[in-house]
Amino acid sequence: MLKYSSKINKIRTFALSLIFVGFIVMYFGIFFRTKPIIMTIFMLLGLLFIIASTVVYFWIGMLSTKAVQVTCPSCGKVTKILGRVDICMYCNEPLTLDPALEGKEFNEGYNNKRKSKEL
């Protein structure tokens, strides 16, 4: 079953996993201590992942400033909405800013202008 999660949370998880991948790649580089060139390649690759993660984190920061803060009707906590529909960061309640979509089943396609016309 496909589980939906808040967009900001999703991107955050992605950025965190990039850091882990970066460290794992760098860790493998240690096994090639005797071959400096291979070790350097692993280290640079690991560094690239970590840089990519920093960029993603920066991007989340930019997105967060554009996100609309709302109080979730289900759990009462303040959460952020990105796009027309999103999910509460705390209780996974589907939320929408568009009154026309209220009560409809959650569909991530509503965030895509072209796709939402087909729906």
Nearer to Zn ion, 60 or 89 (CB): 89
Q: Applying CB under 5 A, does 30 fall inside the site for Zn ion?
A: no
Q: How far is the CB of 91 from Zn ion (least distance, A)?
A: 3
Nearer to Zn ion, 12 or 21 (CB): 12
Phi, psi of 87 (to 5 degrees): -120, 145
Kindly tell me the burial class for residue 113, based on how many C-beta atoms sit within 10 Å of its own C-beta (0-12, 13-18, 19 or more). Answer: exposed
Q: Applying CB under 5 A, does 74 fall inside the site for Zn ion?
A: yes
Strands 85-87 and 94-96: antiparallel
Binding site for Zn ion (CB under 5 A): 72, 74-75, 88, 90-91, 93
